[in-house]
């Protein structure tokens, strides 16, 4: 008897995070009752695949949230109907004469109006996909408990391409993936279309993502063979109703490897013909194919420089091939060479002179910072430096350098920090967001890419909180001026609960989590101290990598006298890649924000910080603060017990325990190492490292996820 009661009180199935933020669980009865008045009837067509999926989503969402499914109807007959469509698909909507200018192809408006004498909510786009985005926004309002009775919303994406980059290999492995294997079952495609592909498309469409690059930038040529193109086409078919296009990472030397040519020289007419024919073949199978992403002459990948050509020559050849079909080329600027005195300078040195040399359908895809997705970097100086070229930003959603799957690090503040940075290229207010949304230099081809954190784990992203990083990427790609806190709150409400006692502390915890990670890993502008290759854990002492610019010691440059990378005019002069009003403070140790101090300056251990304490003191204090912050996060989470399901609660709790252990390891290993260099005693009041430096140095790791598998 007891058992029966216990079973019937538990939810239908255990929570495993699969639903992501599209978790349409019943709202509180009083709240549901209010909303039900505004969701009595659903008037929506089903003449196109997009209309059909929009209808399904609204039925599923409203049915789940309100415990009552609206009745479907061809016309409005009741108060509280929801009318969805476009001015061309629905005569009722056309009749309303709404101003849909400014919504573009993907935007929407949601308005409370009167139709046939009934109060109604209309959700309208200029296209079916616009209406789909509006439907997701409407569901978000209901799900987060916003009032829906006097609505007058309109919204459209500020960026054109909002793309996930999957670093997935065709054998199922995911480079820098911490959430299991690739969700693309290449082997069974195109015949078997896993239902998960549809859920993936729903999740992306709900946050406005409209593109997916299905394979790793470290690409093989095989994906461009007809056998694989059939598979990609099957994915494109699944995604199309959701307004999502597919893209392929193209290997630059593919004309040799699968084309039988002797060269991949981009100026060779045969090579150009090969790419054009390949593009024609792709567009026959996938008429709305998005285009190519290319990593060239970077970390050993082939590229135009192998033939004495420039990045522009390479990009333009591919761009010409896809241009007749409306495709684009996203050409990455992630390049660095061991001969440059400073890795941070290479991309600017190589690309800046090429401004104005690219075809109109080329975007340069540039990582947020000049080195490599570190916990904190200044913005890349390429933003603002190439006004004649569409600059697209690349962010890393997967936490390669931020604790893999287990550390709770909400990346919203990191993304917001770079987007709101001021390049000063056109005076004050020339933010990075305005570079990438095209408004600063008048570009309409704009975009943002995020390296996906998605895998076969039931919860998609390796942890429940990692889902928030996928979510915030999509929301910021839609509108890079949104606040990361507001997005976090939305996500918490949708993913967990609207209970204020949960929402506020959890959002606060998320908002502080990135700074905590910076503090326990790489405070005060330090960077790239992670273990060699796999990037797991601290290894500031490491000099084992073949290339100098892969070694942590290259980045921190700690010696008896001080620590930090001198990038001032007396050092590598990376500062002068920024506009003069940005370069000047970065060049001046007194004006550089302390959070970037050691990025730009080599300073003595006893340098006086703004606090009046020495640098050595502050370094130890920051490392310690990071660990203390994680302890506080654990305490916050302990108080959340009982507000959500035990399954997700317990996994988060367990992961936070891992995070605390690893934060402590980071702190202790870094302090032990830097102390061995500075020779200074630990400032009073701080606990000594738990182990000796030799112990930390002796730790070696095999089978690290996302790396050692291949």
Chain contacts with ligand BDP (rule: CB under 6 A): 175-176, 217-218, 295, 299, 334, 372-373, 400
Catalytic residue among 116, 149, 280, 299: 299
Whether 396 sits among the annotated catalytic residues: the reply is no
Min separation Cβ 395 and ligand BDP, Å: 11
Min separation Cβ 396 and ligand BDP, Å: 7
Separation in Å, CA 591 to CA 88, 531, 582, 698: 57, 32, 10, 39
Question: What would the DSSP string read from start to end of 164-210?
Answer: EEP-B-TTS-BTT--SSS-S--TTTTTT---HHHHHHHHHHHHTT--
Nearer to ligand BDP, 175 or 377 (CB): 175
Nearer to ligand BDP, 295 or 556 (CB): 295
Q: Which residues contact 435 (CB under 8 A, 6 or more apart)?
A: 383, 384, 391, 423, 425, 441
Q: Is residue 416 classed as helix, strand or coil in its secondary structure?
A: helix
Nearer to ligand BDP, 252 or 478 (CB): 252
Do 290 and 239 form a contact (C-beta atoms < 8 A)? no
Nearer to ligand BDP, 253 or 431 (CB): 253
Min separation Cβ 381 and ligand BDP, Å: 18
Q: Rounded to an integer, what distance in angstroms lies between the CA atom of residue 177 and that of residue 298?
A: 20
Partners of 394 in beta bridges = 367, 449
Catalytic residue among 342, 372, 377, 662: 372
Of 563, 550, 513, residue with least CA distance to 402: 513
Q: Which two tokens stand for residue 651?
A: 């996994």
Nearer to ligand BDP, 318 or 347 (CB): 347
Min separation Cβ 173 and ligand BDP, Å: 12
Q: Rounded to an integer, what distance in angstroms lies between the CA atom of residue 336 and that of residue 338?
A: 7
Q: Rounded to an integer, what distance in angstroms lies between the CA atom of residue 21 and that of residue 497?
A: 11
Separation in Å, CA 382 to CA 90, 187, 375, 473, 511: 46, 40, 19, 21, 28
Give phi and psi for 396, each to the nearest 5. -105, 110
Of 516, 566, 553, 582, residue with least CA distance to 380: 582
Partners of 246 in beta bridges = 212
Min separation Cβ 536 and ligand BDP, Å: 12
How many residues in the chain? 710
Do 282 and 289 form a contact (C-beta atoms < 8 A)? yes
Nearer to ligand BDP, 217 or 509 (CB): 217
Q: How many CB atoms lie within 10 A of CB 194?
A: 16
Nearer to ligand BDP, 534 or 602 (CB): 534
Min separation Cβ 425 and ligand BDP, Å: 25
Min separation Cβ 344 and ligand BDP, Å: 14
Min separation Cβ 707 and ligand BDP, Å: 8
Of 104, 113, 110, 96, residue with least CA distance to 58: 110
Q: Angle at the Cα of 496 (from 490 to 500), degrees rounded to 5?
A: 70
Of 627, 632, 688, 694, residue with least CA distance to 662: 627
Q: In what order do the strands lie in the sheet with 108-115?
A: 71-73, 41-44, 81-85, 118-124, 108-115, 152-155
Nearer to ligand BDP, 142 or 217 (CB): 217
Nearer to ligand BDP, 299 or 641 (CB): 299
Query: What is the gyration radius of the CA atoms in the chain, in angstroms?
Result: 26
Nearer to ligand BDP, 372 or 515 (CB): 372
Of 258, 248, 157, 146, residue with least CA distance to 210: 157
Min separation Cβ 525 and ligand BDP, Å: 19
Whether 372 sits among the annotated catalytic residues: the reply is yes
Do 156 and 79 form a contact (C-beta atoms < 8 A)? no
Q: Rounded to an integer, what distance in angstroms lies between the CA atom of residue 247 and that of residue 236?
A: 9
**Residue with smallest beta-carbon separation from ligand BDP:** 372
Do 75 and 116 form a contact (C-beta atoms < 8 A)? yes
Residue 637's Cα: distance from chain center in Å? 25
Min separation Cβ 461 and ligand BDP, Å: 18
Residue 94's Cα: distance from chain center in Å? 37
Min separation Cβ 298 and ligand BDP, Å: 6
Separation in Å, CA 39 to CA 66, 123, 152, 495: 9, 12, 17, 22
- 380 DSSP 8-state letter: P
Nearer to ligand BDP, 44 or 347 (CB): 347
Nearer to ligand BDP, 165 or 265 (CB): 165
> The tokens 């994915």 sit on which residue?
235
Nearer to ligand BDP, 243 or 540 (CB): 540
Do 687 and 625 form a contact (C-beta atoms < 8 A)? no
Min separation Cβ 547 and ligand BDP, Å: 13
Catalytic residue among 175, 400, 457, 662: 400
Do 660 and 640 form a contact (C-beta atoms < 8 A)? no
Whether 400 sits among the annotated catalytic residues: the reply is yes
Min separation Cβ 339 and ligand BDP, Å: 19
Q: Which residues contact 588 (CB under 8 A, 6 or more apart)?
A: none
Q: Which residues are catalytic?
A: 299, 372, 400
């Amino acid at each position: 008897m007891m058992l029966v009661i216990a079973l019937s009180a538990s939810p239908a199935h255990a929570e495993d995070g699969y639903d992501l933020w599209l978790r349409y669980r019943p709202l509180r009865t009083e709240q549901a009752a209010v909303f039900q008045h505004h969701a009595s009837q659903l008037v929506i067509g089903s003449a196109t695949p997009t209309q059909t999926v929009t209808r399904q989503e609204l039925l599923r969402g409203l049915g789940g949230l309100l415990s009552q499914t609206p009745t479907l109807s061809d016309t409005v007959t009741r108060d509280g109907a929801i009318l969805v469509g476009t001015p061309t698909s629905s005569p009722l909507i056309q009749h309303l004469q709404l101003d849909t200018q400014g919504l573009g192809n993907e935007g929407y408006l949601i308005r409370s109006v009167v139709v046939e004498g009934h109060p109604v909510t209309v959700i309208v786009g200029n296209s079916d996909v616009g209406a789909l985005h509006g439907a997701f926004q409407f569901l978000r309002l209901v799900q987060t408990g916003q009032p829906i009775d006097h609505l007058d919303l309109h919204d459209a994406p500020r960026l054109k391409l909002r793309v996930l980059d999957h670093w997935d290999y065709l054998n199922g492995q995911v480079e820098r993936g911490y959430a299991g294997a690739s969700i693309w079952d290449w082997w069974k495609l195109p015949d078997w279309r896993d239902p998960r592909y549809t859920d993936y498309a729903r999740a992306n469409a709900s946050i406005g993502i409209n593109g997916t690059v299905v394979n790793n930038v470290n690409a093989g040529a095989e994906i461009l063979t007809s056998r694989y193109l059939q598979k990609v086409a099957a994915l494109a078919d699944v995604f199309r109703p959701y307004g999502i296009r597919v893209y392929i990472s193209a290997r630059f030397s593919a004309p040799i490897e699968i084309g039988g040519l002797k060269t991949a020289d981009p100026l060779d007419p045969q090579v150009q013909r090969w790419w054009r024919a390949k593009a024609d073949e792709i567009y026959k199978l996938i008429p709305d194919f998005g285009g190519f992403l290319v990593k060239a002459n970077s970390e050993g990948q082939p590229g135009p420089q192998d033939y004495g050509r420039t990045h522009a020559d390479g990009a333009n050849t591919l761009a010409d091939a896809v241009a007749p079909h409306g495709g684009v080329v996203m050409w990455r600027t992630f390049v660095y060479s061991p001969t440059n005195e400073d890795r941070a300078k290479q991309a600017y040195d190589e690309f800046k002179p090429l401004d104005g040399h690219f075809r109109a359908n080329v975007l340069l895809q540039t990582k947020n910072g000049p080195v490599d997705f570190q916990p904190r970097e200044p913005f890349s100086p390429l933003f603002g430096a190439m006004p004649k070229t569409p600059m697209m930003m690349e962010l890393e959603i997967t936490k390669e350098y931020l604790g893999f799957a287990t550390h709770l690090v909400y990346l919203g503040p990191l993304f917001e920090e770079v987007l709101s940075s001021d390049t000063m290229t056109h005076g004050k207010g020339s933010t990075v967001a305005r570079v990438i949304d095209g408004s600063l230099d008048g570009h309409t081809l704009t975009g943002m890419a995020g390296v996906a954190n998605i895998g076969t784990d039931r919860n998609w992203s390796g942890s429940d909180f990692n889902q928030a990083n996928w979510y915030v990427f999509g929301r910021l790609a839609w509108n890079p001026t949104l606040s990361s806190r507001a997005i976090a709150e939305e996500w918490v409400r949708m993913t967990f609960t609207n209970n204020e006692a949960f929402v506020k502390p959890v959002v606060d915890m998320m908002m502080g989590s990135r700074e905590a990670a910076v503090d326990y890993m790489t405070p005060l502008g330090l960077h790239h101290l992670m273990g060699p290759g796999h990037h797991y854990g601290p290894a500031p002492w490491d000099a084992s990598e073949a290339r100098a610019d892969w070694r942590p010691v290259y980045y921190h440059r700690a010696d008896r006298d001080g620590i930090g990378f001198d990038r001032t005019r007396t050092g590598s002069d990376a500062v002068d890649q920024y506009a003069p009003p940005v370069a000047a403070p970065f060049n001046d140790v007194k004006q550089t924000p302390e959070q970037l101090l050691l990025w730009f300056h080599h300073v003595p251990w006893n340098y006086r910080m703004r606090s009046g304490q020495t640098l050595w003191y502050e370094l130890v204090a920051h490392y310690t603060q990071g660990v203390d912050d994680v302890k506080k996060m654990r305490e916050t989470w302990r108080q959340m017990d009982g507000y959500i399901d035990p399954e997700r609660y317990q996994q988060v709790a367990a992961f936070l325990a891992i995070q605390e252990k690893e934060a402590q390891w980071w702190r202790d290993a870094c302090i032990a190492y830097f102390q061995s260099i500075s020779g200074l005693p630990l400032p009073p009041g701080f606990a000594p490292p738990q182990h000796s430096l030799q112990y930390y140095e002796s730790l070696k790791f095999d089978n690290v996820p996302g790396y050692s598998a291949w």
